[in-house]
Amino acid sequence: MVKLSENQAKNQMALLIFVFIFIAFLLTSLLLLSGNHRRRIRRLPPGPKGWPIIGNLPQLGPKPHQTLHALSKTFGPILSLRLGAFDVIVASSAAAASQFLRTHDANFSSRPPNSGAKHVAYNYQDLVFAPYGARWRMLRRLCTSHLFSTKAMEDFRQVRGGEVEQLVRRIAEKGGEAVDVGVEVNTCVTNALTRVTVGRRVFGGNGEKEGAEEFKEMVVELFRLAGVFNIGDFVPGLGWLDLQGVVKKMKKLHRRFDEFFEGIIAEHREAEEKADSDGKRSDMLSILIGLNEEASGEGIKLTDTGIKALLLNLFVAGTDTTSSTVEWALAELIRHPNLLKQAQIELDSVVGSDRLVSESDLPNLPFLQAIVKETFRLHPSTPLSIPRIASKDCEIDGYLIPEGSTLLVNVWSIARDPYMWPDEPLAFRPERFLVGGLHEGVDLKGNDFELIPFGAGRRICVGLSLGLRMVQFMTATLIHAFDWGLVQGQMVENLDMEEAYGLGLRKAVPLVSKPTTRLSPMAYAKNA
């Protein structure tokens, strides 16, 4: 045999790689040409022309929810895109969303394949990205029964109250020092959730601040990466190249989360072994570990991987979206001091000045509830709904929605539709939800499609009840317990309200504000 020189071997390897890429390119081109032909002969919704191979991907820009909102004004409330080899349908009106998520909900109950679910969410072992079926129903029922049912919400009311009280004391002890609102609120939400989920506070002790900030940074990175339209997800044959470097970052982030959850599970098992147990399991993790040992009613057994995947959902989706919404609400009230004052007057009349807000006060605070609704409207925690996939062909408003197409509901766009919101849709006006307002009676629970920040239909956010309760509770407590001012040199009219796009919608510039206590000293005392 003739032995090749090192240079010849390298040249042959380069040639093989070139041939492989060329074949992948050719196959993708043929697939896309076939897709374009289907688009011409089938009644797809209208949409912009795309580029060869990659379709409309370059047109989405850094803030796709805003780009798609602009496109809907040209092409209508139901538009179609071609992202690589796949059809993507975007619904941008309440009527269109109702068609997809109510009338045809069963057809859009699963998720399309994506790199985030594969490389971060334990290869679809979680609840959010799990295929619609028996395992998904089991996971959802577990969460509903043990965390989000009416009984569970009532059982853990004291836990939430204790963490919010600690948040207030922590801020009050700073003596007017500027605080990063998002970090403080995220710490509170995470500890409230983890005390119920794993039976203890995750961020406690001397390293609380460092641990909380590191965890929030991990969550922010996850939401950012999950919001990227990864070319490899849409163009077959190019995924292995990881052209945007997204998969590499996802794998690295996954390792950090996995180590975090491995530690929590190991500590939990060790604590249970040392404790004198009477066989009762109270926290969510204990119940999940029990299912790890024996199959559920459907014969489905949870592995450690499945447990970590569900914890990932609970820790991430249940914390960052809540804390971001509270941060947006406070930023809007700082920009509108008259509304802040009006809310404080309502709170003082119901709660007084000698104690903090309790959850039982919330039903008696209609203006506070209106503020929260208006915050969810202008700053939805998920601006583009988590994608769904059509399990079969269907027809909506005379358009064919083909099997395998991806559905995106532009929640951000719906909330700015002048047809549904004729009274200054871009203005922060909580009074629109009060008695006599144009949107009196509109709720956030997936029944009124002009306001669906938690989604709608079968795959509506399982944590809706807790998320809404925590946003109302913390927003009420923070504006009742403190007056909020900006740091020196910052003007209210110049407060940065720019959005940072991802799977969730955060403030691009974190809100740093100076709180001043406004209640009786006894309200801030421990166990007041």
Pairing of strands 78-83, 499-500: unpaired
Q: Pairing relation of β-strands 482-486 and 512-517?
A: antiparallel
Please report, for residues 135, 284, 324, 341, the alpha-carbon distance to residue 493 in angstroms, rounded to integers and kept in the order given.
50, 45, 21, 17
Residue type, 72: S
From residue 37, how far is each of 29, 32, 49, 103 by CA, in Å? Answer: 12, 8, 13, 29
Say how far apart CA 151 and CA 340 lie, in whole Å: 33
Question: Is 172 strand, coil or helix?
Answer: helix
C-alpha 361/C-alpha 356 separation (Å) is 10
Crossing angle of the two packed helices 208-226 and 246-274, in degrees rounded to 10: 140
DSSP 3-state assignment of 388?
strand
Contact between 516 and 482 under an 8 Å Cβ cutoff? The reply is yes
Q: Could you give the 3-state DSSP secondary structure of residue 396?
A: strand
Rounded Cα gap, residues 514 and 180, in angstroms = 9
Residue 484: strand pairing partners: 515
Q: Which tokens in the block code for residue 301?
A: 């057994």
C-alpha 130/C-alpha 109 separation (Å) is: 10
461 marked as binding residue:
yes
Pairing type for strands 394-396 and 399-401 reads antiparallel
HSE-CB for 320 with a 13 A CA cutoff:
26
- CA separation for the pair 93, 149 (Å, rounded): 31
CA distance linking residue 75 with residue 28, whole number of Å? 27
Distance CA 411, CA 389 (A): 17
Binding residue numbers: 461
Binding residue numbers for heme: 461
